[in-house]
Chains A and B, each alone.
Chain A
């Protein structure tokens, strides 16, 4: 069974940093592209970042470009999101998702990020 479990969320002050992790199991992690997505309270889903199966191709949403860094460790079946210079508008639930043929076939439950002083 495919499982994606996010961790690392919490309360951080504006301008602060946080590193999210996504532990994958139940599939060959190194064969799949992965995404991070977020949902702010009361808002719709927003794609955040993409990474190819090898990590060689990365894309970001304009809203996080230059502040967030997506990475992966295929040996550990783990996906990461380093978030710097956090803003109030970055708050929300962050989830990872497994991609297959551009489709999001498996999602994690998410980890909550709160940005407040």
Chain B
């Protein structure tokens, strides 16, 4: 089974900050990595697929990069609406999720 290790688990930041979240796979997943955002009481929302492709309607301040086993999600300038939980998902072999990163207000 492919394990996904996401860090940090919690991130305190201010509006306007540049934020980076990392996801590491236990083996190569090529580029089959997605990022989701989840707000309290809501279902997760797909942000990025295949490492760096923005889902329709997702603001351009979100970006993804990486390959093989190391991936990052970057928010270039954190906005009030971005305080949420973010998690990665590999879909190279079935699906495995990272533990999630809570982005909270500093």
Question: Chain A: residues with CB nearer than 8 A to chain B?
Answer: 35, 37, 43-47, 50, 59, 61-62, 95, 102-109
If the complex has contacts A95-B43, A104-B89, are A45 and B97 also in contact, measured as CB distance less than 8 A?
yes
Q: In the complex, A95→B96 CA distance in Å?
A: 15
- The answer to whether A103 and B96 touch across the interface, beta carbons within 8 angstroms, is no
- The answer to whether B97 and A105 touch across the interface, beta carbons within 8 angstroms, is no
Q: In the complex, A61→B97 CA distance in Å?
A: 13
Question: Chain B: residues with CB nearer than 8 A to chain A?
Answer: 1, 32, 34, 36, 43-44, 46, 49, 87, 89, 91, 94-100
Where chain A touches its partner, the secondary structure class is strand
Q: Output the nearest chain B residue to A106 by Cβ-Cβ distance.
A: B43
- The answer to whether B46 and A104 touch across the interface, beta carbons within 8 angstroms, is yes
B80 CB, nearest partner CB in chain A, Å: 24
- The answer to whether B34 and A103 touch across the interface, beta carbons within 8 angstroms, is yes
Please name 16 further chain A to chain B contacts, defined as beta carbons within 8 Å, in addition to the given A45-B100, A95-B43, sorted by A numbering: A43-B99, A44-B87, A44-B97, A44-B100, A45-B87, A45-B89, A47-B97, A50-B94, A59-B94, A61-B94, A102-B95, A103-B34, A104-B46, A104-B95, A108-B43, A109-B43
